[in-house]
C-alpha cells in the first residue's frame, strides 16, 4: 500500500508555521505547527510519493473527508480543523487538535507567541 520514502523537508503551508516534526506513520508525517493566530495544532502531511497506487492515496483523502463530520460530533475524537491539498506538489494535509501537549518538551526555539525571548 505505502512505500517508505526518506524524510523530506516540509512544504510551505498557508497560514501555518511548521515548527517541529513530532511523529510519523505509514501514510504521513505529523508536525507541530503554529497558526496565524498563534494557536498550536498538529498537521499531518500525506505525500503522494508514499503510495504505490493512486487509489490508496485517494482513499486516504476520502477517509479524512468523512472523518471531518465525525470529529465535530463526537467529543471523544480529535477535531479536524482544516484540510488542504496541493496536487501539483503531490500532497494533502490536515490540521487537528493536539492529542498530547507536544509543547511540554519542544525544542528550545519554540515559544508561546507572547513569550519574550
> Mean pLDDT for each consecutive 10-residue tract of the chain (117 residues)?
58 94 90 95 95 94 93 91 95 91 51 46
In a domain, 109, yes or no: no
Q: How many domains does the chain have?
A: 1
Measured distance CA(116)–CA(113) in Å, rounded: 8
- CATH number of 59's domain: 3.30.200.20
Find out whether 30 and 43 touch, Cβ atoms under 8 Å: yes
In a domain, 104, yes or no: no
In a domain, 74, yes or no: yes
In a domain, 103, yes or no: no
Q: Pairing state of beta strands 80-86 and 29-35? A: unpaired
pLDDT at residue 3, rounded to an integer: 47
Find out whether 41 and 97 touch, Cβ atoms under 8 Å: yes
Find out whether 32 and 22 touch, Cβ atoms under 8 Å: yes
pLDDT at residue 7, rounded to an integer: 61
DSSP state at residue 2: B
The domain containing residue 33 runs over which residues?
A: 16-96
In a domain, 10, yes or no: no
Read out DSSP for 39-77? -EEEEEEEEGGGBSSHHHHHHHHHHHHHHHHHHHH-TTS
pLDDT at residue 4, rounded to an integer: 46
In a domain, 106, yes or no: no
In a domain, 36, yes or no: yes
Amino acid at each position: 500500500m505505502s512505500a517508505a520514502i526518506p524524510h523530506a523537508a516540509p512544504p510551505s503551508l498557508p497560514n501555518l508555521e511548521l515548527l517541529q516534526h513530532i511523529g510519523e506513520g505509514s501514510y504521513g508525517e505529523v508536525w507541530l505547527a503554529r497558526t496565524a493566530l498563534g494557536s498550536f495544532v498538529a498537521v499531518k502531511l500525506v505525500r503522494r510519493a508514499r503510495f504505490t497506487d493512486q487509489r490508496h492515496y485517494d482513499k486516504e483523502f476520502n477517509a479524512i473527508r468523512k472523518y471531518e463530520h465525525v470529529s465535530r460530533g463526537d467529543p471523544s475524537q480529535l477535531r479536524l480543523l482544516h484540510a488542504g491539498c496541493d496536487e501539483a506538489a503531490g500532497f494533502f494535509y490536515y490540521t487537528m487538535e493536539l492529542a498530547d501537549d507536544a509543547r511540554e518538551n519542544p525544542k528550545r526555539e519554540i515559544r508561546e507567541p507572547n513569550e519574550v525571548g
